[in-house]
Amino acid sequence: MLSILVDYDNVHSLTTSRGARYLTDKILAALPSSLVSRHKNASVRFYGGWFLGQTLTRRAQGLSSDLSNSFPTTFSSPGEHKIFVRAELARSLLVDPGRDLWHTYRIRQFPQKLTCALPAARGCTDQSCPLSAIAAAITSGACPTSGCTISPCDLFERNEQKLVDSMIGVDGLHISRTSDDLVIVSSDDDLWPPIHSALACGKDVHLLQTLQRTSPYGRVVRGVGANFWEGTL
């Protein structure tokens, strides 16, 4: 089995917008033909912040519907080798598939004790610069207009994913104890430690970077063993 773990939000939106089938075909086409040709089956897991509380986000629902409509499917390599592909949302860990990991998508409020420099301190010479009022509100935590009860905390929020990188890392290490070939699709530096660990245990690891970049951790991992392949999506 070829096991492919995809850090979905690490993939460019122009690619994900074309659907999960397009993304999967693109991944398989980018991998070494020698790897794909020795497998008859592939399993693709898409990781992301799928749960707001205990409810699937709209994005997760849309992707889940796409996966149901597009898979299972068959990918044909240029050499006419065919591989049967299944795909799923990574809602749980491989070691405990019956238990969903909730709260992986969270909405954070405006952080406390945040400061903001005044525009004049950064070279702005416009005394009526509208950013001055914004900077003052952020630093003070209150609206500069007397009597206004709205604070920056009421206006700003930050959406973030939690547990996703660790899920990929844990599942990757779980696969490293099986006979499956492991592919990780991401450019997140947080995944280098589990890649390093899998390589140190003698596992072949294929990393498909989603960005054109060179990480300093890559040089460390390449010294672990000759069973590491790296490419770009």
Do 42 and 76 fall into the same domain? Answer: yes
Do 102 and 123 fall into the same domain? Answer: no
Query: Which tokens go with 221?
Result: 């991992």
Do 188 and 222 fall into the same domain? Answer: yes
Do 184 and 82 fall into the same domain? Answer: yes
Count how many domains the chain has.
2
Reduce the DSSP state of residue 117 to 3 states and report it: coil
Give pLDDT, residue 153.
75
Question: In 3-121, which ranges are continuous DSSP H helix?
Answer: 13-16, 20-30, 33-36, 58-70
Do 31 and 129 fall into the same domain? Answer: no
Do 8 and 99 fall into the same domain? Answer: yes
Do 102 and 192 fall into the same domain? Answer: yes
Nearest alpha carbon to residue 100 among 167, 148, 39: 167
Do 26 and 87 fall into the same domain? Answer: yes
Give pLDDT, residue 29.
95
Give pLDDT, residue 38.
92
Answer with the one of 93, 124, 155 that is the final residue of a domain.
155
Do 176 and 99 fall into the same domain? Answer: yes
Do 118 and 68 fall into the same domain? Answer: no
pTM: predicted TM-score of the whole model, two decimal places: 0.84
The whole-angstrom separation of Cα 97 and Cα 174 is: 12
User: What 8-state DSSP symbol labels residue 56?
Assistant: E
What kind and span of H or E run contains 102?
none
Whole domain around residue 27: which residue ranges? 2-106+160-232
Do 66 and 132 fall into the same domain? Answer: no
Give pLDDT, residue 169.
96
Answer with the one of 120, 155, 190 that is the final residue of a domain.
155
Domain CATH for 84? 3.40.50
- Divide the 233 residues of the chain into consecutive groups of 10 and give the mean pLDDT of each group: 97 96 97 94 97 95 98 90 96 96 83 78 89 83 83 75 94 93 95 91 92 77 79 93
Judging by DSSP bridges, how do beta strands 82-89 and 105-109 pair with one another? unpaired
Give pLDDT, residue 112.
66
Do 40 and 134 fall into the same domain? Answer: no
